[in-house]
């Protein structure tokens, strides 16, 4: 059993959780993830590691299906069944570069350790966070600490730049040059970012989030096609060059269990509230 040291609702549907762990800090690096299981019946799900210290590891997650709904219902002081990590390859470090870092949804939390590491490696950081509306943005103050500049983007125009990430990117990259773009968020966001930066010829690293089970390279469900070659996101990634990803295949594979996921959620809701 793993104790929840702190649980906080950041914005609707997006949660922050600090979990007790004596081990994870030993080797944790930016860009890695952990696997959690909410309870004995739970799935193993990968979540980005957003922070850590000698006694804890933190995650930010969005409530989508049963697994994240279960986690979302938990409170400070309660427990989850399992926590394992860190997993995946850490973000490849660079220095003396100007990097545009983009985060959407849970990705706003996921970019936190990455910009921290980039900043500590002497890079210039332009941070851009995007959401449907202003009330879904969070952690601006935390991110500002490691950003040279920060942009807020809302699709409904309630705060900052009005429009979607592709519009912002097109605008920004037409005016300013950057050495690299880095993005974390849903598959659609990372896809859109990769598509938009491609004509500019800017190296674009994206964090992918395919379905996983063991997350140690054993099951192969997380396979993604990179430059025509099959890779396992859990051990070869989860970060890849966005211009080499077979997005169609990734989007299709994300939906393998869509029917089961709906069934699982309605079963869970019935059991809990029915």
Partner 1 sequence: MPEKIVPKKTPMREQPPKERIKNFNEVPYGYSPEEAIAEAKRCLQCKKAPCISGCPVEIDIPGFIKFIAEGDFKAAIKKLKEKNVLPAVCGRVCPQETQCEQVCTLAKKFEPVAIGRLERFAADYEAAQGEAPIPELPPPTGKKVAVIGSGPGGLTVAGDLNRFGHSVTIFEALHKPGGVLVYGIPEFRLPKAIVYREVDYLIRCGVKLVLNFIVGKTATIDQLLKEFDAVYIGTGAGLPWFMNIPGENLNGVYSANEYLTRSNLMKAYLFPEYDTPIVRGKRVAVVGGGNVAMDCARTALRLGADEVHIVYRRSKQEMPARAEEIHHAEEEGVIFDWLTLPIKYIGDENGWVKEMECIKMQLGEPDASGRRKPVPIEGSNYISAVDTVICAIGQGPNPLIPQTTPDLKAGKWGNIEVDKATMKTSKPRCWAGGDVVRGGATVILAMGDARIAARSMDEFLRTGIW
Residues lying near partner 1 in the complex (CB under 8 A): 23-24, 26-27, 37, 41-44, 66-67, 70, 81-87, 213-214, 216-221, 223, 225, 230, 235, 248-249, 252-253, 255-257, 260-261, 263-264, 267-268
Q: Which two tokens stand for residue 140?
A: 């601006």
Q: Closer to partner 1 at the Cβ: 33 or 172?
A: 33
CB of 251 to partner 1, least distance (A): 9
Pick between residue 12 and residue 220 the one whose CB is nearest to partner 1. Answer: 220
**Please, which residue, 15 or 231, has the CB nearer to partner 1?**
231
Cβ proximity to partner 1, 180 vs 219, nearer residue? 219
Instruction: State the minimum distance, in angstroms, from the CB of residue 159 to partner 1.
Output: 36
What is the per-residue burial (b if ≥16 Cβ within 10 Å, else e) of 200-213? Answer: eebbbbbbbbbbbb
- Could you tell me the smallest distance in angstroms from the CB atom of residue 23 to partner 1? 5
Query: In the complex with partner 1, which residue's Cβ is closer, 179 or 214?
Result: 214
- For the bound state, the minimum distance from the C-beta of residue 7 to partner 1, rounded and expressed in Å, comes to 20
The answer to whether the Cα torsion of 121, 215, 205, 100 is positive or negative is: negative
Helix (H) or strand (E) holding 258: helix 258-273
Tell the smallest beta-carbon distance from residue 262 to partner 1 (Å).
10
Helices 165-175, 187-197: axis angle to 10 degrees equals: 30
Residues whose CB is less than 8 angstroms from the CB of residue 17 and which lie 6 or more positions away in sequence, other chains included: 4, 6, 7, 8, 58, 59, 60, 61, 71, 74
Where helices occur in 75-217 by DSSP H, the ranges are 107-120, 140-144, 165-175, 187-197
Are the beta carbons of 150 and 129 closer than 8 angstroms?
Answer: yes
**How near is the Cβ of 186 to partner 1 at its closest, in Å?**
18
Residue number with CB closer to partner 1 (42 or 163) = 42
d(Cα 63, Cα 84) in Å, to the nearest integer?
20
Q: In angstroms, rounded to a whole number, what is the distance separating the alpha carbons of residues 197 and 125? A: 17
Task: Measure the CA–CA gap between 202 and 235, rounded to whole angstroms.
Answer: 25
Collect all residues with Cβ–Cβ distance below 8 Å to 208 and sequence separation of at least 6: 187, 190, 224, 233, 237, 238, 239, 240, 245, 250
Q: Which is nearer to partner 1, 47 or 131 (CB)?
A: 47
| Separation CA 225–CA 236 (nearest Å) | 11
What is the nearest approach in angstroms of partner 1 to the Cβ of residue 158?
A: 36
Closest distance between partner 1 and the C-beta of residue 22, in Å? 10
Q: Which is nearer to partner 1, 201 or 274 (CB)?
A: 274
């Amino acid at each position: 059993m793993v104790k929840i040291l702190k649980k906080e609702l950041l914005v609707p549907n997006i949660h922050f959780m600090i979990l007790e762990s004596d081990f994870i800090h030993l080797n944790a690096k930016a860009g890695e993830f952990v696997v959690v299981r909410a309870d004995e019946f739970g799935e193993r799900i990968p979540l980005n590691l957003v922070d850590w210290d000698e006694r804890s590891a933190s995650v930010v997650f969005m409530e989508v299906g049963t697994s994240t709904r279960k986690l979302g219902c938990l409170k400070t002081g309660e427990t989850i069944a399992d926590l394992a990590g860190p997993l995946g390859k850490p973000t490849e470090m660079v220095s003396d570069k100007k990097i545009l870092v983009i985060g959407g949804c849970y990705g706003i939390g996921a970019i936190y350790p990455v910009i921290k590491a980039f900043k500590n490696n002497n890079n210039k950081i332009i941070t851009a966070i995007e959401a449907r509306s202003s009330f879904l943005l969070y952690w601006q103050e935390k991110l500002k600490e490691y950003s040279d500049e920060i942009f807020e983007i809302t699709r409904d125009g309630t705060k900052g730049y009005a429009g979607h990430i592709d519009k912002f990117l097109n605008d920004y990259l037409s005016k300013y040059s950057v050495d690299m773009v880095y993005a974390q968020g849903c598959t659609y966001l990372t896809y859109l970012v990769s598509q938009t930066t491609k004509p500019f010829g800017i190296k674009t690293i994206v964090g992918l989030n395919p379905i996983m089970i063991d997350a140690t390279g054993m099951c192969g469900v997380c396979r993604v096609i990179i430059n025509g070659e099959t890779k396992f996101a859990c051990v070869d990634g989860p970060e890849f060059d966005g211009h080499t990803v077979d997005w169609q295949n990734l989007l299709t594979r994300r939906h393998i269990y869509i029917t089961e996921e709906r069934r699982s959620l309605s079963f869970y809701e019935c059991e809990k509230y029915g």
